[in-house]
Amino acid sequence: MSLSCSLSTCVDGDAPTASCESQPSVHWAQGIDASILPRIFEQGTTIAVMQRALSPSLERSIQAQCDTERRWSFQWLGVPDAAMKRELRRSMPAPEQACPLVDDVVLLTQAMAMLFDTDTLGIRLRLLDSAMCPRFHCDKLPVRLVTSYRGPGSEWLPESAVNRAGLGAPSPDKPETLRQAHAIQRLGTGDLALLKGDGWSGNEGRGLVHRSPAQQAGETRLLLTIDPS
Protein backbone atom coordinates (compact mmCIF):
# COMPACT_ATOMS: atom_id res chain seq x y z
CA MET A 1 0.00 0.00 0.00
CA SER A 2 1.37 3.44 -0.88
CA LEU A 3 2.02 6.03 1.79
CA SER A 4 -0.49 8.53 0.42
CA CYS A 5 -3.26 5.95 0.04
CA SER A 6 -2.87 4.48 3.52
CA LEU A 7 -3.11 7.89 5.22
CA SER A 8 -6.87 7.80 4.83
CA THR A 9 -7.30 5.17 7.56
CA CYS A 10 -6.31 5.50 11.24
CA VAL A 11 -5.16 2.54 13.33
CA ASP A 12 -3.88 2.20 16.87
CA GLY A 13 -0.12 2.19 17.20
CA ASP A 14 2.23 0.76 19.79
CA ALA A 15 3.62 3.18 22.38
CA PRO A 16 7.34 3.06 23.15
CA THR A 17 6.82 1.86 26.71
CA ALA A 18 3.31 0.86 27.76
CA SER A 19 -0.23 0.73 26.42
CA CYS A 20 -2.52 3.72 26.33
CA GLU A 21 -4.93 1.85 28.60
CA SER A 22 -2.35 1.68 31.41
CA GLN A 23 -1.05 5.22 30.82
CA PRO A 24 -3.94 7.58 30.09
CA SER A 25 -1.55 10.55 29.73
CA VAL A 26 0.44 8.99 26.85
CA HIS A 27 0.65 11.55 24.05
CA TRP A 28 2.37 9.58 21.28
CA ALA A 29 1.30 7.19 18.55
CA GLN A 30 3.72 4.78 16.93
CA GLY A 31 3.42 2.01 14.37
CA ILE A 32 4.77 0.53 11.15
CA ASP A 33 1.95 1.65 8.82
CA ALA A 34 1.39 5.11 7.37
CA SER A 35 -2.14 5.11 8.77
CA ILE A 36 -0.59 5.91 12.17
CA LEU A 37 0.29 9.44 11.02
CA PRO A 38 -3.26 10.91 11.05
CA ARG A 39 -3.32 10.25 14.80
CA ILE A 40 -1.57 13.61 15.07
CA PHE A 41 -5.05 15.14 14.72
CA GLU A 42 -6.11 13.61 18.05
CA GLN A 43 -6.29 16.26 20.74
CA GLY A 44 -3.84 14.65 23.15
CA THR A 45 -1.30 13.40 20.60
CA THR A 46 1.83 15.53 20.09
CA ILE A 47 3.95 13.06 18.08
CA ALA A 48 2.99 10.38 15.56
CA VAL A 49 5.75 8.08 14.32
CA MET A 50 5.74 5.70 11.38
CA GLN A 51 8.68 3.33 11.75
CA ARG A 52 10.09 2.26 8.42
CA ALA A 53 13.10 0.52 6.90
CA LEU A 54 14.69 2.14 3.87
CA SER A 55 14.93 0.06 0.72
CA PRO A 56 18.39 -0.93 -0.61
CA SER A 57 17.94 1.26 -3.70
CA LEU A 58 16.99 4.25 -1.55
CA GLU A 59 19.93 3.64 0.76
CA ARG A 60 22.31 3.59 -2.22
CA SER A 61 20.84 6.84 -3.51
CA ILE A 62 21.22 8.44 -0.08
CA GLN A 63 24.80 7.24 0.23
CA ALA A 64 25.67 8.76 -3.14
CA GLN A 65 24.37 12.18 -2.03
CA CYS A 66 26.28 11.97 1.25
CA ASP A 67 29.64 10.97 -0.27
CA THR A 68 30.66 14.58 -0.79
CA GLU A 69 32.73 17.25 0.93
CA ARG A 70 30.03 19.80 0.13
CA ARG A 71 27.41 20.39 2.86
CA TRP A 72 24.56 20.92 0.42
CA SER A 73 20.95 21.87 1.07
CA PHE A 74 17.66 22.25 -0.78
CA GLN A 75 14.82 24.58 0.17
CA TRP A 76 11.42 25.01 -1.41
CA LEU A 77 8.32 26.97 -0.44
CA GLY A 78 5.32 26.34 -2.63
CA VAL A 79 3.53 23.58 -4.49
CA PRO A 80 5.31 20.19 -4.58
CA ASP A 81 5.11 19.98 -8.35
CA ALA A 82 7.34 18.99 -11.28
CA ALA A 83 9.37 22.18 -10.91
CA MET A 84 10.14 21.30 -7.30
CA LYS A 85 11.21 17.81 -8.37
CA ARG A 86 13.58 19.22 -11.01
CA GLU A 87 15.14 21.69 -8.58
CA LEU A 88 15.56 19.00 -5.94
CA ARG A 89 17.40 16.72 -8.35
CA ARG A 90 19.53 19.62 -9.61
CA SER A 91 20.59 20.52 -6.07
CA MET A 92 22.06 17.08 -5.33
CA PRO A 93 25.79 16.42 -5.69
CA ALA A 94 25.19 13.08 -7.51
CA PRO A 95 22.09 13.76 -9.65
CA GLU A 96 22.65 10.65 -11.78
CA GLN A 97 21.97 8.53 -8.67
CA ALA A 98 19.27 10.75 -7.20
CA CYS A 99 16.05 9.15 -8.49
CA PRO A 100 15.13 6.93 -5.51
CA LEU A 101 15.75 9.73 -3.02
CA VAL A 102 13.95 12.33 -5.13
CA ASP A 103 10.98 9.98 -5.55
CA ASP A 104 10.78 9.41 -1.79
CA VAL A 105 10.87 13.14 -1.02
CA VAL A 106 8.17 13.77 -3.62
CA LEU A 107 6.01 10.98 -2.16
CA LEU A 108 6.31 12.48 1.32
CA THR A 109 5.51 16.00 0.16
CA GLN A 110 2.45 14.79 -1.74
CA ALA A 111 1.28 12.82 1.30
CA MET A 112 1.71 15.89 3.54
CA ALA A 113 -0.20 18.07 1.09
CA MET A 114 -3.05 15.57 1.12
CA LEU A 115 -3.02 14.99 4.88
CA PHE A 116 -3.14 18.70 5.73
CA ASP A 117 -5.21 19.77 2.71
CA THR A 118 -2.75 22.38 1.48
CA ASP A 119 -1.04 23.27 -1.80
CA THR A 120 1.86 25.03 -0.10
CA LEU A 121 4.68 23.32 1.78
CA GLY A 122 8.00 24.43 3.21
CA ILE A 123 10.55 21.75 2.34
CA ARG A 124 14.17 21.56 3.49
CA LEU A 125 16.65 18.75 2.81
CA ARG A 126 20.07 19.31 4.35
CA LEU A 127 23.32 17.42 4.76
CA LEU A 128 24.57 18.34 8.23
CA ASP A 129 27.84 17.76 10.04
CA SER A 130 26.74 19.18 13.41
CA ALA A 131 23.58 19.42 15.49
CA MET A 132 21.34 22.30 14.39
CA CYS A 133 19.26 22.58 17.59
CA PRO A 134 21.13 20.74 20.38
CA ARG A 135 18.96 22.16 23.20
CA PHE A 136 15.56 20.71 24.02
CA HIS A 137 12.88 23.04 22.67
CA CYS A 138 9.40 23.07 21.14
CA ASP A 139 8.50 24.64 17.82
CA LYS A 140 6.13 27.59 17.50
CA LEU A 141 4.69 26.31 14.23
CA PRO A 142 1.62 24.02 14.07
CA VAL A 143 3.24 20.79 12.85
CA ARG A 144 6.37 19.52 11.12
CA LEU A 145 7.36 16.23 9.50
CA VAL A 146 10.94 15.16 10.19
CA THR A 147 12.94 12.21 8.93
CA SER A 148 16.65 11.41 9.00
CA TYR A 149 17.68 9.62 5.83
CA ARG A 150 21.17 9.12 7.21
CA GLY A 151 22.60 9.50 10.69
CA PRO A 152 20.88 9.62 14.07
CA GLY A 153 17.23 10.60 14.38
CA SER A 154 15.77 13.46 16.40
CA GLU A 155 15.39 13.02 20.16
CA TRP A 156 12.14 13.80 21.99
CA LEU A 157 10.75 13.73 25.51
CA PRO A 158 7.59 12.26 27.01
CA GLU A 159 5.73 15.01 28.85
CA SER A 160 6.49 13.38 32.21
CA ALA A 161 10.22 14.00 31.59
CA VAL A 162 9.82 17.72 30.79
CA ASN A 163 10.14 20.76 33.02
CA ARG A 164 8.70 23.45 30.74
CA ALA A 165 10.01 26.21 32.98
CA GLY A 166 13.43 25.39 31.55
CA LEU A 167 12.46 26.00 27.91
CA GLY A 168 13.55 29.07 25.98
CA ALA A 169 16.80 31.02 26.03
CA PRO A 170 19.23 29.75 28.71
CA SER A 171 19.74 31.82 31.84
CA PRO A 172 21.37 31.15 35.25
CA ASP A 173 18.03 31.03 37.08
CA LYS A 174 16.33 28.55 34.73
CA PRO A 175 15.92 24.92 35.78
CA GLU A 176 16.93 22.01 33.58
CA THR A 177 14.32 21.15 30.96
CA LEU A 178 15.09 17.43 31.24
CA ARG A 179 13.72 15.78 34.37
CA GLN A 180 14.65 12.18 33.57
CA ALA A 181 17.65 11.45 31.34
CA HIS A 182 16.63 7.81 30.90
CA ALA A 183 13.31 8.91 29.35
CA ILE A 184 14.85 10.39 26.18
CA GLN A 185 13.36 8.80 23.05
CA ARG A 186 15.06 8.74 19.64
CA LEU A 187 13.64 8.32 16.17
CA GLY A 188 15.24 5.64 14.03
CA THR A 189 16.93 6.40 10.71
CA GLY A 190 14.17 6.46 8.08
CA ASP A 191 11.32 6.92 10.58
CA LEU A 192 8.68 9.49 9.68
CA ALA A 193 7.52 11.66 12.56
CA LEU A 194 4.90 14.38 12.78
CA LEU A 195 5.74 16.77 15.62
CA LYS A 196 2.95 18.99 16.90
CA GLY A 197 4.12 22.45 17.99
CA ASP A 198 2.76 25.28 20.12
CA GLY A 199 1.25 26.82 16.98
CA TRP A 200 -1.33 24.05 16.62
CA SER A 201 -4.72 25.43 17.66
CA GLY A 202 -5.58 24.09 21.10
CA ASN A 203 -2.04 22.87 21.75
CA GLU A 204 -0.56 26.11 23.05
CA GLY A 205 2.06 25.39 25.72
CA ARG A 206 2.05 21.67 24.92
CA GLY A 207 4.27 21.46 21.84
CA LEU A 208 6.45 18.38 21.66
CA VAL A 209 9.83 18.95 23.31
CA HIS A 210 12.67 17.67 21.12
CA ARG A 211 16.24 18.36 19.99
CA SER A 212 18.77 17.51 17.32
CA PRO A 213 20.92 14.49 18.19
CA ALA A 214 24.62 14.78 18.94
CA GLN A 215 26.87 13.83 16.02
CA GLN A 216 30.27 12.20 16.21
CA ALA A 217 33.25 13.89 14.57
CA GLY A 218 33.06 13.26 10.84
CA GLU A 219 29.49 11.94 11.03
CA THR A 220 26.92 13.41 8.65
CA ARG A 221 23.15 13.53 8.87
CA LEU A 222 20.75 13.93 5.93
CA LEU A 223 17.63 15.57 7.36
CA LEU A 224 14.31 16.28 5.67
CA THR A 225 11.70 18.58 7.21
CA ILE A 226 8.30 19.43 5.71
CA ASP A 227 6.04 22.20 7.07
CA PRO A 228 2.48 22.54 5.76
CA SER A 229 1.54 26.18 5.22
From first to last of its 229 residues, the chain has per-residue pLDDT tens of 467 655 644 433 444 443 333 344 689 999 999 999 999 999 999 999 999 999 999 999 999 999 998 889 999 999 999 999 999 999 999 999 999 999 999 999 999 999 999 999 999 999 998 766 788 999 999 999 999 999 999 999 999 999 998 898 888 888 999 998 899 999 999 999 999 999 999 999 999 999 999 877 778 999 999 999 8
Task: Give residue 109's domain range.
Answer: 27-163+177-228
**Does 195 fall in a domain?**
yes
pLDDT of residue 229: 86
**Does 14 fall in a domain?**
no
Q: 82 Cβ partners below 8 Å, 6+ apart?
A: none
pTM (whole model) above 0.75: yes
pLDDT of residue 54: 97
pLDDT of residue 217: 77
Render pLDDT for 137-183 as a digit per residue (tens, 0 to 9).
999 999 999 999 999 999 999 999 999 988 988 888 889 999 988 99
Number of structural domains (the chain) is 1
**Does 149 fall in a domain?**
yes
pLDDT of residue 13: 40
Mean pLDDT in the chain? 89
pLDDT of residue 131: 61
**Does 168 fall in a domain?**
no
Cα separation, 223 vs 130, in Å, equals 12
**Does 196 fall in a domain?**
yes
**Does 19 fall in a domain?**
no
CATH assignment of the domain containing 121:
2.60.120.10
